[in-house]
Each structure stands twice: as C-alpha cells, then as structure tokens.
Amino acid sequence: MSDLEPRAPFGARLRRVMDERGPLCVGIDPHAALLSSWGLADDIAGLEAFTRACVEALADTVAVVKPQSAFFERFGSRGIAVLEKAVAELRAAGTLVVMDAKRGDIGSTMAAYAQTFLDPGSPLFSDALTVSPYLGYGSLKPAVDLARESGSGLFVLALTSNPEGGEVQHAVRADGRDVGATMLAHLAEENAEDAAEDAAEVPMGSFGAVVGATLGDLSSYDLDINGPLLAPGIGAQGATAADLPAVFGAAVRNVVPNVSRGVLRAGPSVPALREAAARFADEVREAVAAAA
C-alpha cells in the first residue's frame, strides 16, 4: 500500500505493532557527544553513518522509532535529506515513525508544519508528530484535522519530564484544573470522537500525550485518554521499566516508553544496538504484563 492510499488510523496501527514487537520507542538523537562516542565526526558523514546504523538495527525490530528533527536540521538541507531517507526506510520496514519536532504555532503556519510531517505527499511524512499546545490547544486544529485525514497521530506535550515544564503545565486555571490536566482532557475528547465513529476499528485513539516516566505518582491525573502516552525518561534519565505501573496506573498498557541514550550508547555495533533495544522491550513487556 502506498502512502497516498487510505490507511488504518495511527492508534490502531500502533496497538498492533506494540503487541507484536513490544511497547517500546527508541529515539534517534545524533547529537555531537554521541557521534563522538561512536568515533564519528560531527559532520554530515558522521550523521549518515550514525543514522544508517540505527536504521539497520531498529527497522523491523522495534515498534516505534522517534527521530529528533533538530539534530538533523542543524546540518541544513543535507541533514534533512538523511532524515528523509531514514523515515522512508523505517516505515517501509513496518516500524512506526514519530517525528519529534515539537511544532506549535497558529493558523497557516501550524498548517504548514502539519503538511511537512503529516501530508502523505511530503518526503518527511511520518506516522505521528510531537506538537506543543502552548499557544492554546485550539491552535493545533490544522494538525488534528490533517492527522485524521491522513491516518496519522499526534503526541501533545502535556506533563513533560523536564523540570522547567512545571511552571506552565502545573499552572492552575480558573476552573481549578491545571494546564497539563486540561491537555489530557482535550485528547480524551478527540479520541472519544473517533471511537464514536467506528469503535470496532479504533482499539486505541490516535491522539496521544507526552507524559514523563520520571514524574512519579500521577494518580491525581486522569491518564485514561483512550490514546497512547509517549513516556520519555527510561534509561539515562533514571526511570526504569519497573517504574511504569506505579507512574501510569491503569493506563500502563497504552504507554509507549521512549529510550534514547540507553540504547544508542551501545553503538556503533548494529548487533549491540539491536540487543539493547530488545532488552528494553522485554523489560517493558514484563512490567506491563505483571501489572495486568
């Protein structure tokens, strides 16, 4: 099936591939220090070698790969070309690609960002996109609409793992609910709308939240949005697979834990990268099964 043909919604495809390969997302973050640790120069040749090894190791093995767009953009058009190739090869192997670009704007500018990553005719077309709602959730409407049209998904920043996020995400609104909880509520509404239209085809919604795995007890938040929860923080940031049930409670089955450095530091060996990813996937699968 070509990208120009209708596809199952992102949430349905994500549920299927997570069940088949294990609930794990591996980040591709070619920052300068990591390139150096692999013995690669911080240039386009190093970027190409790093990305090629990651794609070879991860395509057809993990459920989700999340390239960090900024680390490719810093090399200009040649870096974007490397990213385009990686996206195409990962998706051709059945691995879902979440583009970590954290775009957020208003009106026609938000529409242009959406077209860059969510339009099937774009060379950077991805299965899902991370977006920032802090110009107001309604500013994301062009991305929401195009994601629905193209069968793609969104991951909206809601409760992030960085310590600076709290000053915005924990700010309390006039209705007594904080901003992070408000974002979760919006996403629950989006997923409920899709499920109402075709519940049989929507085992999990396509509109997810970014919720840090390092945040501890989140029982005061309603994480049951019937959509995926992208959870950074496993590995180098200190969280473990065993922490997931305590953090996410009953929503743990919809969690997509993200590991970047924890896997990438096993490189440049392709077998070692693949083994590290498999180990994390097994740990997450066991933690989720134990919580069932």
Q: What is the pLDDT of residues 30-61, one digit of tens each?
A: 999 999 999 999 999 999 999 999 999 999 99
Flag whether 191 is in a domain: no
CB-based contact 216:241 (threshold 8 Å): no
CATH number for the domain spanning 30: value is 3.20.20.70
Q: Which listed residue (66, 85, 102, 141) is catalytic? A: 102
Q: What is the CA radius of gyration of the chain?
A: 18
- Residue 150 in this model has a pLDDT that exceeds 70: yes
pLDDT score recorded for residue 291: 85
CB 86 within 8 A of CB 51: yes
Residues 163-205 have pLDDT tens digits of 899 999 999 999 999 999 999 999 999 999 887 666 556 689 9
Inside any domain, residue 193? no
Q: How far apart are CA 195 and CA 272, in angstroms?
A: 40
Between 5 and 101, whose confidence is greater? 101
Any residues with CB less than 8 A from the CB of 123 and at least 6 apart, and which? 84, 87, 88
The residue range of the domain holding 150 is 10-180+205-291
- Domain membership flag for residue 187: no
Between CA 92 and CA 175 the distance in angstroms is 46
Domain annotation covers residue 2:
no
Average pLDDT rounded to a whole number, residues 9-16? 96
Q: What is the mean pLDDT of the segment spanning 19-36? A: 96
For residue 6, pLDDT beyond 60: no
pTM attached to this predicted model? 0.95
Contact 131, 154 (CB under 8 A): yes
| Within-domain flag for 186 | no
In a domain, 1, yes or no: no
Mean pLDDT for the stretch of residues 62-79: 98
**Is 102 designated active site?**
yes
Per the domain annotation, does 36 fall within a domain? yes
Number of domains in the chain: 1
Residue 2's pLDDT is 44
Q: What confidence tens digit (pLDDT) does each residue in 105-134 have?
A: 999 999 999 999 999 999 999 999 999 999
The answer as to whether 33 is a domain residue is yes
